[in-house]
Structure 1
């Protein structure tokens, strides 16, 4: 698989959009530094040197609904790669829909965007390998940020993390293609943060509180509360 390595870029997602028309297959776009990185819903994402920033451009099988399920594939790959470097005592989990937690704090995020009218998919991944942003720069109810170095003492250069992540992603991508989303769903649920516990989901102006029961075949979160069982396809989740 092709890899494009850049010393600095505004955003690997932006670079993915620029390169996508000329790509015949999948490619990782890796940058040592991002100057204008973004997260979900246009939020800023701090990406200083020493942290990991990359975007995978690929051509998923199926339509947009199938492509959206790659957030779960990417989360599993991230969790596996971090488990490899964080040591045996690290507590890793995955927060729906697309964050990876280390010892209860957010260490990584995933962003999906469609390219070329949906023909290609960009999967942006940011990992706090060396630095976590100051808490006062985040929204008041945001998950506390952590870094791999701060939590485990492990120093992993971003360029060394890339092949670990690429290998893990290839493994779960094969699982998805060969066995469908059920295999991914089961593996994801085994690592899900706060499964079976009470959480809060906010979808625009609506707030729902209930027990995180499972995710369904579309990746929607199933919340059971006073008003019954509800499927939520997009929301911000708070513990």
Structure 2
């Protein structure tokens, strides 16, 4: 077996072969995907399955017994039956790329501050690599979403698995809408965005390769210097910069003010009547203040 085709990952649970079925146009060609990877991403382990409960759960479980090394692992599923979004919300997302990557980071858990923002930035820059117009349209929503014109394009969920002193696996779940899903829009009660709005001749294999290449580069940069060097690039794509916003928890307003970007640790800078506050992501959600509503400092 050649070096370009490494053996199956020892950290992934075995899966029965899926029954033969016609492949939709957006299915991933793993051989072509590997050929499109460069740099550190060329050594990553790639895995795709027809269906699983949750790719994040798969990699979280598998990482506990994983041998330590430098290679990341991709786990992609065409359908997730127990997918989870932020704050434990159920999420399945059949209209897009739904996958997780496990990244070995020689860092302490306390050094992961800002990682979700770094991942979001990598994803946005990967979309720009594919199409400049798409890249220009994408905005980042603190702490872990991508959007176009206020419509959600992608979400990120990160879980960590300690692996010893100064060692942690970051298991990063990503859902990226390829097309707008009317059924999901109806269920969520909100409009969504899709990559196909800008890339009608969408090639998901090329798109996924761009994402993995950017994630590999992000991993190296994050290990070297954390999120701080990336903060200016993130702020340049901040969809809510200098806008009045509310922070909600379980539907209740926790704080209001003007969004003033983020600091080097990935905290939201919120200008309130009491001054500039630094907000950690925690369990709060950011929302725009409706037009005509108060709440922003004078």
- TM class by shorter chain equals 0.7 to 0.9
**1:88 match: secondary structure:** helix
What is the Cα deviation at residue 153 of structure 1? Answer: 4.9
Q: Contact between 1:51 and 1:158, CA under 8 Å: does it hold in 2?
A: no
- Tell me which residue corresponds to 1:200: 246
What is the Cα deviation at residue 86 of structure 1? Answer: 4.7
User: Structure 1: how far apart are the matches of 2:51 and 2:89?
Assistant: 20
Q: Contact between 2:229 and 2:264, CA under 8 Å: does it hold in 1?
A: no
Q: Within 5 Å, which residues of 2 pair with 1:76-115?
A: 76-88=121-133, 91-115=137-161
- 1:174 to 1:119, Cα distance in 2 relative to 1, 3 A: closer
Superposition misfits of 4+ residues, deviation over 6 angstroms: none
Instruction: Please say if 1:181 is aligned against 2:224.
Output: no
What is the Cα deviation at residue 81 of structure 1? Answer: 1.8
Instruction: Please say if 1:18 is aligned against 2:48.
Output: no
Q: RMSD across aligned C-alpha pairs, in angstroms?
A: 2.2
Q: Which among 67, 73, 85 is matched to residue 118 of structure 2?
A: 73
Q: List alignment gaps of at least 5 residues for structure 2.
A: 1-43, 289-298
Q: Within 5 Å, which residues of 2 pair with 1:106-185?
A: 106-116=152-162, 119-132=168-181, 134-138=184-188, 144-149=191-196, 151-185=197-231
Q: Which among 30, 36, 53 is matched to residue 76 of structure 2?
A: 30
TM-score (norm 2): 0.71
- Higher mean alpha-carbon deviation, 24-33 vs 107-116, is at 24-33
TM-score (norm 1): 0.87
Q: Which among 223, 231, 236 is matched to residue 278 of structure 2?
A: 231
